[in-house]
Structure 1
Amino acid sequence: MAHLFLCSIGPVQEFIVNARRSRDLWYGSWMLSTIAKAVAREVLTLGGTLIFPNPVDPSNLNLNSDFSSPNRVSAVFEEFDKKKANEIKEAAFKSLMDLWDEAMVHIENQVKVHNANPTFTFTDPELPKKQIEELLEFYWVAVPFEEDNYPQARDQAEALLAARKNTRDFKIDDGDFVPKSSLDGIRESVIPEPHYNRADAAQFLYKVYRARGAERLSGVDLLKRLGRLSDEHNFPSTSDVAAAPLMSTLTKSKQKQLIQDLKMLLIEAGIPDEEIAENASLVFESRFREYLGELPSKDEDLKKYRKIVNDAFDGELPNPYYCLFIADGDNMGKRISDLVDINSHSKLSQDLSTFAATLPDEIKKQAGTCIYAGGEDILAYLPLHTALEYASQLNVDFKRKIGTTLSGGLVIAHHLT
């Protein structure tokens, strides 16, 4: 008999609450999407038919595609058993651990560069991996059904999944006498305390662990900080987005030249190019100052900096605010409940996937940053000068393509929050 399979991948809320940098938030969303795509691929490998997500182009489910998958996967199997469920769950865990292996390559390389003791990389060599293995929340249900009672099967699956998620798994581990993570305050830090007393502590901690100052980081924190480091220079920060209105007064070529000039100032002051992750945000003096620290040339460097920025903008300073935008489709639960068969559900899923796939580029054109766009859910940073107009247009586009409206909110926040 055919079975409707439904699974949920988390944690979602923990990643949002514990994000301290915009990149932490983005990586948490990207990581869950990557795991969901691995689950979807495994479903197809096992002979299942995807309902949600169900992109028109199956290559969107590949590891490095830009497609953002929701953290829920539903599919139909002609035959289903617990063995298939375990294989799907195993694919999710393997995807997560592959991401950790990628992060470990950076740590191991930097330990060699700094001639550090490789056996003293972590407080306990097994702890980071253990923390990450315990991170993933994977809940699933499967409901047998006949072709003519798909809506009832879907409702039953949703109710069972909600009940399973409310039946929490609790696991208590013996702790140790080490500081807790600065981000979540729950997991233990895996960075050995003696590293904070090194003469080159600030540089060493940032280079190896991407930890700043007195930050203590767990294995989960390290995964978020070190995952996809190759994209770090291309990921706009909240400060980049806040700087966009002022930067837009310059031509593209002048914007590029200004950023190059400011970075060259830092390089000439002795800051290695690979350590300069900022772009447009350098027009904020506070962000530029962070790199200078207590360098002997600090006052002279700031004098040169102020002249460059003053000449570029005729003395105008950037507005230090940006918008956090969040939106989702209205009455989507009822819309899905009204679907009478699998084909109509799959069609809606494809329409949502096609719409969401266009959003990262559209948001980039607004000088914003797309954190997540999967299905009907959207999370992005937008600059003040384009936020309202774009949000309004997005609602029009969503209604035209999906058939219902969006509800959303804009929060105006300081670029350092």
Structure 2
Amino acid sequence: MSHLLLIAIGPVQDFIASARRTRDLWFGSWLLSELAKAAAKSIYQAKGNLIFPYPTNPAQDLAPESAFNVPNKILAKVEGDIKKIADTAKQALEQRLNQIRDGAFDQVKGTFYDEQAADQIAALVEFNWVALPLGTDYAKTREQLEHLMAARKNTRNFSEVTWGTNAPKSSIDGERESVIDEKYYPPAGMANTSPEYAKIVARLYRDYGINVGERLSGVDMLKRHGQKGIDSRFPSTSHMAAIPMFNFLNKYDEANANISLIDPWNRYINFFNTNSTLIKYIDNERTPKSQKNFGNIDGSLLFAERFNDTLEGNDLSDAQNALEAFYTALGVKKRPIPYYAILHADGDAMGSVINNQEVIEKHQEISKALAKFADNKRDINPLNDSEERSVATIVAKHQGALVYSGGDDVLAFLPLHTALECADALAKRFQTLLSNFKDKTDRSPTLSVGIAIVHHLEPLSDALDLARAAEKKAKGFVGKNALAINLSKRGGADRIIVGSWIESKYSFYNRLKKLIEWHQTDQIPLGFAFELHDLSIRLKDLPANIFHAEAKRIIERKHTSNGIKVSSAIATELLAMINDLVPETLTQAHIMIQQFADEVIIAEFIADAQKLANGN
């Protein structure tokens, strides 16, 4: 008899999000995909018919370390002993986990409680499965199966924790105990300026890849030291923030034939390479995102404040002086903008569209389209039609770093100057691939995108919360199919704006592009946005027509930063944007006036990054 088998693998969000470094986040996402892939391969080898995910070339796609991403849910049509198939899939998952664990532990030079670490990792994965006879109504059986899985997840299995100790908790997730003996850390009261303290710090970094304040559990060790084939580095948040500056320096070098950045840059890097206490520091500050003229050096080396994390005393001041000497030698007054973007996207109406598929083959077609969208292979050949691009290719084209793409779920880091265009390209690609699939209301899936603009030194967990808040704002927009941007400036209030992807002359995305263009050419003053924002707070009960009149008055008397009045053409278009966004019949007009003011402010922020990246 044929059965539908549904497997859910966890934990997902908590496990992925518990990361202090981008590399930990990226590896945790990849690890879960690898484990799900091993389970999916086991089902395929048992002659199961995979429905979601749907690999077009199973032997290649389900191989370890392939570019094919497998989400944490697996749906298949299977024959025979259901329990045996599910148990074998779980064994395959555990075997793959042990392989990755052993590879990670081999990378650790120092001693640690490896048995306790292995126990913590073994207890990490949640593997739940349910099955039902298929019958003749696929859609109804699948719906029942989802309800059954929800009930299964609420029926928890509890077992005794075998690895609990009185050791300090992990500094990453705060749940599991550290597996590194405290004797390897500086004793209480030791001066952090002493030579012995410096030796201990260097040994912690050399043997465990950690800073003095970090405590790692076995799961943290797995993330920190696990290997993803030959590609086991990931750019930092600082590198993402530095990319516009890298672009500026490259263009500056091309435009100034009598000044080369190569020699000053090499002198700066040689400062680290010839300093015995700093060689290991620069070895860690490398990234697969190589930059022209700069090699694979991470962009954190362009920020003096980043040295505060791991350097102290003379090393700190010497490194900061060396960086300033590099900028001075070039005669460059520009400095990196210390902000980057996190993009978090999720499909809309996916559940209702899948529920509307009455046969397995139609569901497999959706899975195939999602796999094509989420493909981790990168192709940035400009001759390739953009309609053929995958998530990985789109993110790479925009100089970003993809953390995860599985099904309709995307998480990526991006430099500030490309984040908006990348979001637009992803939304269009998703809608194109899924346009042939409808729900009962004749709606096709769309992609809602949240972008968080965050300071590069913001704790990663907080930055991810901001990205999730933006994605939630987009998903909560009327009709979904939306973009939300959350700007979190240090020392200022967060600003979040949201609007639909639906095209019109003054649609949200088109409005932002136009505002950015005007900011780049210094044709609109930023001051009027702050006045509008202040007005919306102080006089929130005003009707829309009064806000229109006040906006006109503010715009007409404002001057740009170079002392020029706003042109009548631009003033007219700004007012048209406000009138379109805030019709006179709108109640609580102050909310949308505030939105427009924040759009102007955020657009200026993005425009500054684009000007820098363009060499201006």
Q: TM-score with structure 2 length normalisation?
A: 0.62
Q: CA RMSD in A?
A: 2.4
Q: Give the residue type in structure 1 aligned to 2:105.
A: M
Name the residue aligned to 2:454.
413
Q: Check whether the contact 1:372–1:378 (CA below 8 A) recurs between aligned residues.
A: yes
After superposition, the C-alpha distances for 1:315-342 in whole angstroms (9 at most, x for unaligned) are: 1111111111111111000010001111
Q: 1:284 & 1:352 partners in 2: Cα distance?
A: 39
- Does 2:111 match 1:153? no
Where structure 1 has 5 or more consecutive residues not aligned to the other structure, the ranges are: 112-120
Displacement after TM superposition at 1:133 (Å):
0.4
- Does 2:328 match 1:321? no
Displacement after TM superposition at 1:350 (Å):
0.8
Query: In 2 relative to 1, CA 60–81 (structure 1 residues): closer, same or farther, beyond 3 Å?
Result: closer
Query: In 2 relative to 1, CA 321–141 (structure 1 residues): closer, same or farther, beyond 3 Å?
Result: same
Q: Check whether the contact 1:40–1:73 (CA below 8 A) recurs between aligned residues.
A: yes
Q: Check whether the contact 2:211–2:310 (CA below 8 A) recurs between aligned residues.
A: no
Q: 1:254 & 1:70 partners in 2: Cα distance?
A: 44
Match of 1:352 among 370, 373, 387: 370
Give the stretch that moved more between structures: 247-256 or 157-166: 247-256
Q: 1:381 & 1:259 partners in 2: Cα distance?
A: 26
Name the residue aligned to 1:76.
77
Query: In 2 relative to 1, CA 217–232 (structure 1 residues): closer, same or farther, beyond 3 Å?
Result: farther
Q: Give the residue type in structure 2 aligned to 1:62.
A: A
Q: 1:157 & 1:313 partners in 2: Cα distance?
A: 66
Based on CA coordinates, which of the two structures has the bigger radius of gyration? 2
Query: In 2 relative to 1, CA 416–171 (structure 1 residues): closer, same or farther, beyond 3 Å?
Result: farther
Superposed counterparts of 1:231-270, under 5 Å: 234-251=233-250, 257=262, 262-270=268-276
Match of 2:123 among 107, 116, 134: 134
Q: Check whether the contact 1:398–1:405 (CA below 8 A) recurs between aligned residues.
A: yes
Name the residue aligned to 2:40.
40
Q: 2:178 & 2:253 partners in 1: Cα distance?
A: 44
Q: 1:291 & 1:190 partners in 2: Cα distance?
A: 22
Give the stretch that moved more between structures: 149-158 or 245-254: 245-254
Q: Give the residue type in structure 2 aligned to 1:50.
A: L
Give the stretch that moved more between structures: 345-354 or 299-308: 299-308
Superposed counterparts of 1:211-290, under 5 Å: 211-228=210-227, 234-251=233-250, 257=262, 262-270=268-276, 271-272=278-279, 274-277=283-286, 279-288=298-307, 290=309
Give the stretch that moved more between structures: 331-340 or 248-257: 248-257
Give the stretch that moved more between structures: 243-252 or 398-407: 243-252
Name the residue aligned to 2:157.
169
Q: Check whether the contact 2:394–2:425 (CA below 8 A) recurs between aligned residues.
A: no
Name the residue aligned to 1:64.
65
Displacement after TM superposition at 1:223 (Å):
0.4
Query: In 2 relative to 1, CA 19–304 (structure 1 residues): closer, same or farther, beyond 3 Å?
Result: closer
After superposition, the C-alpha distances for 1:353-375 in whole angstroms (9 at most, x for unaligned) are: 01111212321221111110111
Q: 2:67 & 2:431 partners in 1: Cα distance?
A: 24
Name the residue aligned to 2:203.
204
Residue 433 of structure 2 aligns to a residue whose secondary structure is helix
Displacement after TM superposition at 1:78 (Å):
2.4
Q: 2:233 & 2:16 partners in 1: Cα distance?
A: 21
Q: 1:173 & 1:34 partners in 2: Cα distance?
A: 26
Q: 1:179 & 1:377 partners in 2: Cα distance?
A: 35
Q: 1:261 & 1:395 partners in 2: Cα distance?
A: 44
Residue 204 of structure 2 aligns to a residue whose secondary structure is helix
Q: Give the residue type in structure 2 aligned to 1:105.
A: D
- Does 2:18 match 1:18? yes
Match of 2:133 among 144, 154, 158: 144
Q: Check whether the contact 1:51–1:75 (CA below 8 A) recurs between aligned residues.
A: yes
- Does 2:323 match 1:305? yes
Q: Check whether the contact 1:263–1:276 (CA below 8 A) recurs between aligned residues.
A: no
Q: 2:169 & 2:94 partners in 1: Cα distance?
A: 25
- Does 2:153 match 1:186? no
Q: 1:399 & 1:310 partners in 2: Cα distance?
A: 48
Q: Give the residue type in structure 1 aligned to 2:9.
A: I
Query: In 2 relative to 1, CA 20–351 (structure 1 residues): closer, same or farther, beyond 3 Å?
Result: same
Name the residue aligned to 2:536.
none
Displacement after TM superposition at 1:261 (Å):
5.2
Where structure 2 has 5 or more consecutive residues not aligned to the other structure, the ranges are: 188-195, 255-260, 287-296, 376-389, 436-444, 459-616
Q: Check whether the contact 1:259–1:282 (CA below 8 A) recurs between aligned residues.
A: no
Displacement after TM superposition at 1:154 (Å):
0.6
Superposed counterparts of 1:376-391, under 5 Å: 376-391=408-423
Q: Check whether the contact 1:2–1:80 (CA below 8 A) recurs between aligned residues.
A: no
Name the residue aligned to 1:338.
356
Displacement after TM superposition at 1:293 (Å):
2.9
Match of 1:368 among 395, 400, 408: 400
Query: In 2 relative to 1, CA 229–341 (structure 1 residues): closer, same or farther, beyond 3 Å?
Result: closer
Query: In 2 relative to 1, CA 254–90 (structure 1 residues): closer, same or farther, beyond 3 Å?
Result: farther
Residue 20 of structure 2 aligns to a residue whose secondary structure is coil
Name the residue aligned to 2:91.
90
Q: Check whether the contact 2:345–2:410 (CA below 8 A) recurs between aligned residues.
A: yes
**Higher relative contact order structure (alpha carbons within 8 Å, sequence separation ≥ 6):** 1
Q: 1:288 & 1:193 partners in 2: Cα distance?
A: 25
Q: 2:226 & 2:102 partners in 1: Cα distance?
A: 10
Residue 453 of structure 2 aligns to a residue whose secondary structure is strand
Query: In 2 relative to 1, CA 250–61 (structure 1 residues): closer, same or farther, beyond 3 Å?
Result: farther
Residue 411 of structure 1 aligns to a residue whose secondary structure is strand
Name the residue aligned to 1:115.
none
Displacement after TM superposition at 1:49 (Å):
1.2
- Does 2:411 match 1:392? no
Q: 2:240 & 2:125 partners in 1: Cα distance?
A: 31
Q: Give the residue type in structure 1 aligned to 2:172.
A: L
Displacement after TM superposition at 1:159 (Å):
0.8
After superposition, the C-alpha distances for 1:117-168 in whole angstroms (9 at most, x for unaligned) are: xxxx23x44211110000001111111112x311111111111111111222
Name the residue aligned to 1:116.
none
Q: Give the residue type in structure 2 aligned to 1:246.
A: M
Query: In 2 relative to 1, CA 254–226 (structure 1 residues): closer, same or farther, beyond 3 Å?
Result: farther
Q: Check whether the contact 2:105–2:221 (CA below 8 A) recurs between aligned residues.
A: no
